[in-house]
Chain A
Amino acid sequence: MMCLSSFVSSRRWLVAAAVLAASATGVLAQKDAANSVTAYRVGKVITMDDRDDVINNAVLLVKDGKVQQVGKASQVTIPEGAEIIEMPQCWLVPGFVELHCHEAGASTDLHDYVYLTNPDLRTLESVNPGTENFKSARAGGVTTALLISGSGTNMSGLGTAVKFADGLVEDLVIKFPASIKIAQAGNPERYWFRVGRSFMNYNLRQTLQEAKDYHDAMTAYESGKIKEKPVFSATYDAFRDLFRQNFMASVHTQQYQVVMMTLQLVHNQFGIRTVLDHSTFDGYKTAPLVIEGQDVITINGPRQLYFDGTQRKIFGNAARWWQAGIPKLGINTDSPVIPQEELTYQAAMACYYGWGTYEAIRGLTRIGAEALALEDRVGSLKPGMDADFAIWSGDPIDPRSVCWMTVIDGKIVRDVREEMRRF
C-alpha cells in the first residue's frame, strides 16, 4: 500500500489514514497464500441465512475463497498464523446481487435491433471486465451481477451471471445461461414502423412455443418416445434449461398490462421461472396475480416512486409491492442507467417511501441469489458459501454509510485506501 503514496498527495492520504484509524487498528494487507485463513473481526455480521441471524461482535473466517466459519468473537477460534483484519465498528454484509444491469458490451450493444426477437444473442460474448462499471460495482459492495441485453426487442438474448472481480472472463462467469431477457412492451414499440402489443405478444408466444416444441421433441427422443432424432437447433438448445427451470426469464416490465401479460404468458402459459424487472408505475396493482404465481420474484427499480394521477398521491413502488404481500422483492439499478455503485441508494429510496431496511438488505442479497438459482453460493454468509461480502461503516442502506472494503471469493477487490476516486 505504500507504493500508493507516489500517486496520492500526502495530505489526502493522511485524511484517509486517519479515517481508517478510527475503525481499523489491525494490519490490512492483501492476502496471498491461498491456503491461509483470514479472520475478519467486525462489529456486526448480517448473515442473511435461513434463520436471519445477525451476529454482533463477530468473527468471520475465510479459507480457500469460502466462508469457513462465522460466529460471535467469543466463540470462534482464530487459527494460529491467520491474518486478522480488525474493523470492530463496522458491518459485514453479504455481497449484493444486481439482477438487472447492462454492463456487458459497449453502449452501442445495449439494444440489438436485429429482429423483434433475438433468441440467438448471448451477453456472454460481450463481458468486459476492465471497465469503470466493474470498479463502480465494487465501490458499492456489489459482488455478483446478471449481465443482460437491452429492452429494445421482445427477446434480446441470454444473460450471464458474473462476479465483479478482477480476472479472466472465464473466471468471472459463474452461470451461463443465467436468464433470457424478455421485453413484452415498453421499448420494443419503437422497432421498425412501430409495433403494438397484439403483435408483440403474438410474436413472443410464437418464439417461446418454437423453443418449447424443440425441447418437448428432444425430451421425447431422449426418453425413447420417438425414434427419429429432431434436427438440432443451435438457437433453441440453450432454451432447454429454461423449460427445466434451471434458469429464469428476466422480463422488462412496467405498468399493469405488461406485468399482467408477463404473468399470463411467460409464467402461466409456459411455466417459466419469472423475474419481473423494474415493475414500476401502477404495476404493483397486479400484486394479487403475482402472489398467485408463488415463485415469481419482483426486482423493482430504478424508478422508485410513482405519482398516481387518478388518486393524486405519490407511492413508493417497492413499498406498494411489499404492502400488497409480495413474498420476494429486490431492487435493481439498471446500471449504467444508475451507476452500479448506487444500488444501495435505490434501496434507501425504497425505504424512504416505506419499505423496511432489513427487507431491503435481503432484497439486495438473498432474493437476487434465489432468482439466479445460486443461493447455495452467494447471497448469504454461512460455512461453505463463497466469501463475497463488503465491510461497511454502518447500515449499508443508510446513504451516509461508506463501503470500506469489498471481498470476492476471499480476495479483497476493493479497499477504500487504494481507491483514489474519493479519498
Chain B
Amino acid sequence: MKPMRCGLIGAMAVAACVLSSGRHSAWAAEPPAKVALTGARVIPVVGPELDGATILIERGKITAVGTDVKVPFDAMEVDCRGKVIMPGLIEPQSWRGLDIANESLPVAPFLDVGDAMDPSRLYFEDALRDGITSIHVMQGNNTVIAGMSRVVRPIGLTPDEMTVDLGTAIKLSVSPRNGYDRMQQMATFRETFRELEEYTDSIAEAKYEESLEKEKKKVDVGPAEAAKRGRPMLKDSDYDDKHLNLLRLKRGDFDTWVYVGSPMDVSPAIALATEQGFLDHTILLIGDDTFKAIGELKKAGRPVVLPEDLFYRERDPISGEITETFIPKKIHDAGLMFALQPNPNSSMAERYLTYQAALCVRNGIPRQTALEAITLNPATMLGMGDRLGSIEAGKVANLVIYNGDPLDFNSWVENVYIDGILAYDRKDDPRLAEILRLEDVGRKVDEAKKAAEEAAKKKDEEKAAPKEGDAAPKPAEGDNAKPAEGGSEKPAESGRARPRRGDGQ
C-alpha cells in the first residue's frame, strides 16, 4: 500500500499516479481490501482497553477487534507491537478551514461552508498530524443564524472530496454579534421566525389559488383561510433556500448548535429552542463563564461543547483574590455530556486535543470520560455516533496509532488511518521533517557556540597562567570573541526561519 502524504506537498507528486490510474484524485483512492493491525494496546473507548489486540479493517470499515482475532490469510498485516491505537479524534467545531469566520449577513442559513473551505490550509495538515480524523467545519459565533456546516476529513483536494457529512448542522448565536446588543439579537430571532410564518402563508395562499385554478374554480375564501388550506399542499421545493433551511431547522432535519457565550444567554436560548421546537436537536456551545448558569444547563440536559480555555479565572474586585474554576468538572458533575475543543490560539500544549483530555484527568475527571470527550461524544453530537468515535466492529476505520499512551504528553502520532487509508505517516511528513531538521541545526549551532565559548575560556585560562607581557593578550582576545559572536547570531536566524505551525495563510 502506498502511504498517503499529508497536505498538498505530496499532492503534486501524487498527481502523476492519479493521471495514470484515471482516478478522481489521490485522496479518493480505494482503501486496501484487508488490513490487520496487530499486537497493539487498543483503547476502543467503548469497553475495556486491550493489550496485544488485533484490529481488522476491511474496505475502510473495522470488522473485528480483540485479542483472539485471527488474521485472514489475505490481509496485509501491520505490526503494531509497542504502539497504542485509539479512535480518530474529532474536532467538534471549527471555522479555521474557512476564509473568514462569518459573513456580515446576520441571517444566512442558505450558505454552505463548502463554498468557503480551503483544502490547502495548513490547518488541515496540522489536524491530521495531531490525529484528528474528523472536523466539524462550522461558521463562527459572530452571527445570528449562520450557514450549513459539514463534517470533513482532513484529506482531499476539494471540499467535496473531504466531506463526510453534508448539511450537518446550523449555528445560532444567542450572544450578540459584534456591535449589537442582546435584546436586538433576540429581536432578530423573533423577526426571522415570524417572517418565516408570513412567507409560508404567502406561498401557501398562492399554492391554494393555483390548485383552484387547475380545477378552474374561483377563489372562494379570504387570504387567511386560503393560506391555511394551502399549507398542507406545500412541498419543500416551494420554499426558497433561506426559508427552507429555517423550516428544516424547526422541523429538526438537522441539529442546531447554539452559542451561549455568557450565563445570561442560556435562559433565552432555551426559551427560543423550546418555542421554535428544536430543543431536542440542540447542542450548546458555551463561553468562558457560561458554567455559572449550571442550573439552567442541567435542566435543559443538552450536550455541551466546552470553550477552548478550560480554566476560568475571576478576580474579586475588593479583595483581589483570584478564584479558578475548571469548567469540565462543573459540567461533568452536572451529569452533562461534553466535548472538548483544541485551543488553536495557544502556542502551548492546549492546541492538542489529547492534552485537553489529559488536563481533565489531572483535574478530577475520569479517564474514560476524558477520552469520550474527544472521540465518542463529539461523534454523538454530530449524529454520527454509530459510525465514528470508537473502535468497534462496524465502525469507520478512523484510527490513530501513538507510540505511547495518548494522554501522555511525551507520546506522538505515528500513523493515522482514515476510512482505512493510511492518511498520515510520521516518517513521510516533509514539513515535520523540515521542522525537526531545523531544530537539529539549532542544536548543532548551540553546540558549536558552547564549544567556542569553552575554547575561549580555555585560552583565557592559558593566557592568565603565564602572566607575561601586557600588550600580547589583547589581539588574541579579539580573535576569540569572533566565533562566539557568530555562534550567538545563528540560532536566532534559524529560529526566525522556522516555519510557523499555525495557519500558513
Instruction: Report yes or no: B98 in contact with A309, Cβ–Cβ below 8 A.
Output: no
Q: Which residues of A contact B108 (CB under 8 A)?
A: 198-199
Closest chain-B Cβ to A325's Cβ sits at a distance in Å of 7
Q: A198-B147, A202-B115, A285-B12 are in contact. Are A193 and B122 (CB under 8 A)?
A: no
Interface 0/1 of A371-398, CB less than 8 Å to B = 0000000000000000000000000000
- Kindly state whether residue B334 has any CB partner on chain A within 8 Å: no
Q: Which residues of B contact A288 (CB under 8 A)?
A: 11-12, 14-15, 18-19, 25-26, 157
Instruction: Report yes or no: A201 in contact with B116, Cβ–Cβ below 8 A.
Output: yes
List which A270-327 residues lie within 8 A (CB) of chain B: 282, 285-289, 291-292, 309-312, 324-325
Q: A195-B103, A288-B157 are in contact. Are A261 and B119 (CB under 8 A)?
A: no
Interface 0/1 of B244-257, CB less than 8 Å to A = 00000000000000
Which of A197, A205, A325 is within 8 Å of B116, CB to CB?
A197
21 contacts between A and B (CB under 8 A): A193-B104, A195-B104, A196-B99, A196-B103, A197-B98, A198-B103, A199-B103, A201-B116, A202-B112, A205-B115, A255-B118, A255-B120, A256-B8, A257-B118, A287-B12, A292-B24, A310-B431, A310-B499, A310-B504, A312-B499, A324-B15
Smallest CB gap from A256: residue in B: B120
Instruction: Report yes or no: B99 in contact with A285, Cβ–Cβ below 8 A.
Output: no
| Complex: A123 Cα to B115 Cα, angstroms | 29
Instruction: Report yes or no: A287 in contact with B15, Cβ–Cβ below 8 A.
Output: yes
Closest chain-B Cβ to A354's Cβ sits at a distance in Å of 15
Instruction: Report yes or no: A196 in contact with B119, Cβ–Cβ below 8 A.
Output: no
Instruction: Report yes or no: A202 in contact with B111, Cβ–Cβ below 8 A.
Output: yes
Q: A198-B103, A199-B111, A309-B504 are in contact. Are A286 and B157 (CB under 8 A)?
A: yes
List which A74-104 residues lie within 8 A (CB) of chain B: none
- Kindly state whether residue A413 has any CB partner on chain B within 8 Å: no
- Kindly state whether residue A422 has any CB partner on chain B within 8 Å: no
| Complex: A48 Cα to B28 Cα, angstroms | 39
Interface 0/1 of B4-39, CB less than 8 Å to A = 000011011011001100001110000000000000
- Kindly state whether residue A260 has any CB partner on chain B within 8 Å: yes
Smallest CB gap from B147: residue in A: A198
Instruction: Count contacts between A and B, CB distance < 8 Å.
Output: 97
| Complex: A288 Cα to B11 Cα, angstroms | 8
| Complex: A15 Cα to B146 Cα, angstroms | 70
- Kindly state whether residue A369 has any CB partner on chain B within 8 Å: no
Interface 0/1 of B471-505, CB less than 8 Å to A = 00000000000000000000000000101000010
| Complex: A285 Cα to B14 Cα, angstroms | 11
Given A185-B99, A198-B103, A255-B120, 16 additional A-B pairs, CB 8 A: A194-B100, A196-B102, A197-B98, A197-B116, A198-B113, A199-B111, A201-B115, A201-B116, A202-B112, A257-B118, A286-B157, A288-B19, A289-B158, A310-B122, A310-B431, A325-B19
| Complex: A195 Cα to B119 Cα, angstroms | 20
Q: A197-B98, A289-B157 are in contact. Are A256 and B103 (CB under 8 A)?
A: no
A interface, CB within 8 angstroms of B = 185, 192-202, 205, 255-257, 260-261, 264, 282, 285-289, 291-292, 309-312, 324-325
Instruction: Report yes or no: B116 in contact with A289, Cβ–Cβ below 8 A.
Output: no
| Complex: A33 Cα to B349 Cα, angstroms | 82
| Complex: A291 Cα to B122 Cα, angstroms | 24
Smallest CB gap from A308: residue in B: B504
Interface 0/1 of B95-128, CB less than 8 Å to A = 0001110111100101111011111101000000
- Kindly state whether residue B139 has any CB partner on chain A within 8 Å: yes
Smallest CB gap from A263: residue in B: B158
Q: Which residues of B contact A287 (CB under 8 A)?
A: 12, 15
Closest chain-A Cβ to B373's Cβ sits at a distance in Å of 29
Q: Which residues of A contact B147 (CB under 8 A)?
A: 198
Q: Which residues of B contact A261 (CB under 8 A)?
A: 115
B interface, CB within 8 angstroms of A = 8-9, 11-12, 14-15, 18-19, 24-26, 98-100, 102-105, 108, 110-113, 115-120, 122, 139, 147, 157-160, 431, 497, 499, 504
Closest chain-B Cβ to A310's Cβ sits at a distance in Å of 5
Instruction: Report yes or no: A256 in contact with B112, Cβ–Cβ below 8 A.
Output: no
Closest chain-B Cβ to A418's Cβ sits at a distance in Å of 49
| Complex: A185 Cα to B100 Cα, angstroms | 12
Instruction: Report yes or no: B112 in contact with A260, Cβ–Cβ below 8 A.
Output: no
| Complex: A289 Cα to B15 Cα, angstroms | 9
Q: A193-B104, A256-B120, A282-B120 are in contact. Are A264 and B158 (CB under 8 A)?
A: yes
| Complex: A270 Cα to B18 Cα, angstroms | 24
Q: Which residues of A contact B102 (CB under 8 A)?
A: 196
| Complex: A196 Cα to B117 Cα, angstroms | 11
Smallest CB gap from B105: residue in A: A199
Q: Which residues of A contact B25 (CB under 8 A)?
A: 288-289, 292
Instruction: Report yes or no: A325 in contact with B15, Cβ–Cβ below 8 A.
Output: yes
Closest 5 CB pairs of A and B: A201-B115, A257-B118, A256-B120, A197-B116, A198-B116
Instruction: Give the interface centre of A255, A257, A289 by most chain B CB atoms within 10 Å.
Output: A257
| Complex: A114 Cα to B112 Cα, angstroms | 25
Instruction: Report yes or no: A196 in contact with B504, Cβ–Cβ below 8 A.
Output: no
Which of A185, A197, A260, A310 is within 8 Å of B119, CB to CB?
A260
Instruction: Report yes or no: A198 in contact with B111, Cβ–Cβ below 8 A.
Output: yes
| Complex: A101 Cα to B365 Cα, angstroms | 63
Instruction: Report yes or no: A197 in contact with B157, Cβ–Cβ below 8 A.
Output: no
Q: Which residues of A contact B504 (CB under 8 A)?
A: 309-310
Instruction: Report yes or no: B120 in contact with A196, Cβ–Cβ below 8 A.
Output: no
